Amino acid sequence: MAPWRKHEFTHKLPGEHVYNGILFFGFSPPDTLRAVRDFTVREDDVFIATYPKAGTTWMQEIIWLIMHDGDFKGASETPVYFRSPFLEFKDEILNEVGLELANPMSSPRVIKTHLPYSMIPRHLQQHSCKTVVVFRNPKDLCVSYYHFYKSSSSMGNFQGSWEEFFEMFMTGHVDHGSWFDYTKSWWEVKDNPNVKVTFYEDMKRDLRKEVVELCSFLGKPLSNEIIDDIVRHCGFESMRRNPMTNHEDVYSINKEISPLMRKGTVGDWKNYFTVAQNELADYFYRRHLGDTGLQFTYEL
């Protein structure tokens, strides 16, 4: 065990397994991860690539609305996780099986994945459909993931301390593996014209600007009025109150412990990180991503 670590990791994710050297929860089983590689993409698909807790649901709602010309009625009738399938997810209780939802879905599909670049569908790596990557600074993301680990039975309702979770996150001992490896894998393809890298913090700073840029990247010119409506609809408070986006009916999330729409801010990490943890996080960042030129915003 590395000298800085104080905890043996005892927490087990339900059905956890290691695939391609990456830890996964049981809701991304090996057969699904294999099948994802053979998934056939369509020219007009849009993929949303995120590490968990980076602002995935936020981007799903925005892109679904852009691709469906601001169909707010449609968005009010079906939860976002059924409109925008999570490719490598398989939950028979919720009847949310990403591949089964995506395959028969009419175009344009908006598909979510938390997989690193090397594990996405082979066809997507060769195809010219669009992928929007959302990055979020790892400190806020780690805090968000900690709360999700505690509130979600799919994560095994983590009972350990913040300190232990911090160590798990830094070492990549969490569902979908190392944030550092994940981030590197997608940053390496940032110059592909079909990939657009966006940042949670930029969305917080100026959501309208981001929506306008997304419309242009996705080739969907929308009226100023629809863009304004999307920006309003996708504000944090609006999405928190909206049962179609806040995962209210998802059995695995205990909202009393923490709802999916928890805080939605930049800088919450300061309420959790000790000075030593902050220094360690910066050290890990320099070690893993220091030579990439990729920089994050940690406060607004």
Upper half-sphere CA count for residue 46 (Cβ side, 13 Å): 24
Token duo for residue 36: 């994802």
233 in active site: no
Q: Which 100-129 positions form the footprint of ligand PPS (CB under 6 A)?
A: none
3-state secondary structure of 17: strand
Residue 62 within binding range of ligand PPS, rule CB under 6 A = no
Kindly tell me which of 140 and 210 has the beta carbon lying closer to ligand PPS. Answer: 140
Which listed residue (234, 250, 281, 289) binds ligand PPS by CB under 6 A?
234
Q: Is the peptide bond before 14 cis (omega within 30 degrees of 0)?
A: no
Looking at 68-206, list the stretches that DSSP marks H as alpha helix, in order from N- to C-terminal side. 72-77, 80-83, 98-102, 122-126, 138-151, 162-170, 179-187, 200-205
Q: How far is the CB of 237 from ligand PPS (least distance, A)?
A: 8
Residue 144 within binding range of ligand PPS, rule CB under 6 A = yes
Kindly tell me which of 154 and 277 has the beta carbon lying closer to ligand PPS. Answer: 154
Number of residues that bind ligand PPS (CB under 6 A): 20
Residue 43 and residue 185 in contact, taking contact as beta carbons nearer than 8 Å: no
Residue 28 within binding range of ligand PPS, rule CB under 6 A = no
Q: How far is the CB of 170 from ligand PPS (least distance, A)?
A: 18
Residue 147 within binding range of ligand PPS, rule CB under 6 A = yes
Residue 50 within binding range of ligand PPS, rule CB under 6 A = yes
Kindly tell me which of 218 and 250 has the beta carbon lying closer to ligand PPS. Answer: 250
Residue 239 within binding range of ligand PPS, rule CB under 6 A = yes
Token duo for residue 51: 């590490």
Please enumerate, as own/partner, the contacts of 222-231 that have beta carbons within 8 Å and a separation of 24 or more: 222/66, 222/69, 222/70, 226/69, 226/70, 229/70, 229/72, 230/62, 230/65, 230/66, 230/70, 231/207
Catalytic site residues?
Answer: 114
Residues near ligand PPS (CB under 6 A) are: 50, 52-58, 140, 144, 147, 234, 236, 239, 260-264, 268
